[in-house]
Chains A and B, each alone.
Chain A
């Protein structure tokens, strides 16, 4: 079983749509969780950390379900500029950030 799994997509949505991405992780001892964004041929950049109680940053909401070892990212009112690959990142007991393959989002007019 892969350490961090994501549906690669692509998710193709119109502007204004709400879209949700899921991520599962295999290591139950994982401590920290993040969503990063990666634009084409660019470096990953932190979008948001994921807290146990769930957290929101503007149009973005992240949720963590430790029992199911599952993380989600919800994007509301999608913008063209949201088009990117969204990377789920998990830190296990060794604190080494492990990346999922990423989910590609394409927002069209």
Chain B
């Protein structure tokens, strides 16, 4: 069964460092998302990506964040200068087509710990 894969599974970093989280979406999917979930809190939308550009982003997705799909396969989330409050689980998700009854397929997540 096709799946979304994410690396690393866990990253520990110092405050102020840059972090890149990687995702390989399901190959025939067209829409890609990053969500985050702070421990004990809800799953929050960060950004959606379609046709090699951002289609929507939330208030959380400020200038510290960026996404790209450099090689048509990997979908990355970069946090330029991490803060303590960036500690969370980051989920990548992909969707074959947006709208309707489209199911989001999630990766297993990347746990980011900022010290």
On A, residues with C-beta under 8 Å from B are 31-32, 34, 36, 38, 41-46, 49, 87, 89, 91, 94-102
Which residues of B pack against A, CB within 8 Å?
33, 35, 41-45, 48, 56, 89, 91, 98-104, 106-109
Contacts of A49 in B (CB 8 A): 101, 103
| Residue from B45, B48, B91, B103 in contact with A43 in the complex, judged by beta carbons closer than 8 Å | B91
A32's partner among B41, B100, B107, B108 (CB-CB below 8 A) is B100
What are 25 pairs between A and B in contact, CB < 8 Å?
A31-B100, A32-B100, A34-B103, A42-B108, A42-B109, A43-B91, A43-B106, A43-B107, A43-B108, A44-B43, A44-B104, A45-B106, A46-B104, A49-B103, A87-B42, A87-B43, A89-B104, A95-B98, A95-B102, A96-B48, A96-B56, A98-B45, A99-B35, A100-B42, A101-B42
